[in-house]
């Protein structure tokens, strides 16, 4: 029997944090197949659908393969495997019929062929998403949109894919026509609605908040945009782009004698 394919050897000189992350990945990949779907998601068997969804979104952020640090690319196949199993658990437990069948005794049975196909699609989608982000950084917007759309088609449950695709489409569309003072534009309304849908499911998704804020700003809806920027900055005080948008607006507010208290969110952020 031929030896199984093994990941490349690890890089030397890892920091303690990366070494700990590697150990976590290897341990999780070694044990996850022995867990129930509920254990994989860290929820009770009577957990309501919203709890299942919330647990999945949290774990998906942690285990999405595209978030593997460059120094740990050799264990990326293990990360993808864990991510696929978590996604399989979510797909089963979020569907009432499949969840009921699972609880009735199918825990130890092998997944049907269609489930294996879904797992493969989840992994493929993660790789397409990673390629889309790389192409976006290179300003290859057409290529990025094609990859992001493929990712979303393969795994439509991922808010990250929907968010990235909406932002790429906005970049390809370009700036709206110049607005008169106080006017608004519907130029990005369809994309804003897409981000609204993402944020209805995950209200504190920082990236969706920032992108929606940018599109609202370009559309002349400054007050709504600033609310998104403030929340994004509160969620992640290291989001310098969101902080900069808040700073500009607060400076304008002070200049126009707006009653917004001096310092605002920036004072809170920079005291941390």
**Is residue 177 in a domain?**
no
Residue 256, domain extent: 182-270
DSSP the chain: -PPPP-PPPPPSS--HHHHHHHHHHHHHHHHGGGS-HHHHHT--TT--HHHHHHHHHHHHHHH-GGGS-GGGGGGHHHHHHHHHHHHHHHHHHTSHHHHHHIIIIITTSPPPHHHHHHHHHHHHHHHHHHHHHHHHHTT-HHHHHHHHHHHHHH-TT-HHHHHHHHHHHHHHH-PPPPPPTT----TTHHHHHHHHHHHHH-TT-HHHHHHHHHHHHHTT-HHHHHHHHHHHHHH-TT-HHHHHHHHHHHHHHHHTT--SPSSHHHHHHHT-
Q: Residue range 15-44: average pLDDT? A: 89
Say if residue 265's pLDDT is above 90.
no
Give CA separation, 17 vs 9, 21, 236, in Å: 18, 6, 20
Do 234 and 133 reside in the same domain of the chain?
Answer: no
**Is residue 55 in a domain?**
yes
**Is residue 175 in a domain?**
no
Count of structural domains, the chain = 2
pLDDT band at 171 (very low <50, low <70, confident <90, very high): very high
**Is residue 132 in a domain?**
yes
Do 149 and 53 reside in the same domain of the chain?
Answer: yes
pLDDT band at 271 (very low <50, low <70, confident <90, very high): very low
pLDDT band at 247 (very low <50, low <70, confident <90, very high): very high
Q: SS3 letters for 155-194? A: CCCCHHHHHHHHHHHHHHHCCCCCCCCCCCCCCCHHHHHH
227-238: pLDDT as tens digits: 999 999 998 898
Do 112 and 150 reside in the same domain of the chain?
Answer: yes
Do 155 and 186 reside in the same domain of the chain?
Answer: no
Do 108 and 57 reside in the same domain of the chain?
Answer: yes
Rounded to an integer, what distance in angstroms lies between the CA atom of residue 27 and that of residue 43? 20
- Picking from 201, 210, 200, the residue whose alpha carbon sits closest to that of residue 170 is 210
Roughly how many angstroms between the first and final C-alpha of the chain, as a whole number?
58
Do 135 and 212 reside in the same domain of the chain?
Answer: no
**Is residue 1 in a domain?**
no
Do 206 and 96 reside in the same domain of the chain?
Answer: no
Q: Residue range 15-42: average pLDDT? A: 88
**Is residue 6 in a domain?**
no
Which domain-ending residue is among 132, 165, 198? 165
**Is residue 35 in a domain?**
yes
CATH number of the domain encompassing residue 94: 1.10.287.110
pLDDT at 11: 47
Q: Residue range 89-105: average pLDDT? A: 87
CATH number of the domain encompassing residue 264: 1.25.40.10
**Is residue 48 in a domain?**
yes
Q: Which of 66-75, 90-99, 113-122, 247-256 has the lowest mean pLDDT?
A: 113-122
pLDDT band at 6 (very low <50, low <70, confident <90, very high): very low
Say if residue 23's pLDDT is above 90.
no
Q: Residue range 114-121: average pLDDT? A: 68
Say if residue 272's pLDDT is above 50.
no
pLDDT at 5: 43
pLDDT band at 98 (very low <50, low <70, confident <90, very high): confident
202-242: pLDDT as tens digits: 888 899 999 999 999 999 999 999 999 999 999 889 899 99
Do 102 and 129 reside in the same domain of the chain?
Answer: yes
């Amino acid at each position: 029997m031929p030896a199984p394919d093994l990941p490349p050897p690890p890089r030397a000189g890892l920091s303690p944090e990366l070494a700990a992350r590697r150990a976590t990945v290897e341990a999780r990949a070694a044990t996850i197949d022995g867990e129930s779907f509920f254990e994989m998601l860290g929820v009770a068997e009577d957990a309501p659908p919203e709890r299942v969804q919330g647990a999945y979104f949290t774990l998906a952020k942690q285990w999405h393969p595209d978030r593997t640090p460059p120094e740990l690319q050799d264990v990326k196949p293990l990360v993808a495997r864990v991510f696929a199993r978590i996604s399989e658990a979510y797909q089963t437990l979020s569907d009432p019929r499949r969840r009921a069948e699972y609880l009735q005794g199918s825990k130890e049975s092998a997944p049907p062929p269609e489930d294996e196909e879904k797992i493969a699609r989840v992994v493929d989608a993660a790789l397409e998403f990673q390629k889309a982000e790389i192409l976006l950084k290179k300003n290859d917007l057409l290529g990025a949109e094609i990859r992001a759309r493929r990712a979303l088609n393969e795994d439509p449950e991922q808010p990250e894919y929907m968010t990235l695709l909406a932002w790429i489409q906005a970049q390809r569309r370009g700036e709206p026509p110049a607005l008169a003072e106080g006017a608004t534009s519907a130029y990005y309304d369809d994309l804003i609605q897409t981000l609204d849908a993402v944020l209805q499911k995950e209200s504190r998704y920082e990236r969706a908040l920032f992108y929606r804020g940018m599109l609202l700003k370009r559309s002349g809806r400054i007050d709504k945009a600033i609310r998104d920027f403030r929340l994004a900055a509160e969620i992640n005080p290291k989001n310098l782009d969101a902080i900069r948008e808040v700073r500009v607006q607060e400076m304008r507010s002070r200049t126009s004698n707006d009653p917004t208290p001096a310092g605002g969110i920036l004072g809170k952020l920079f005291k941390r």
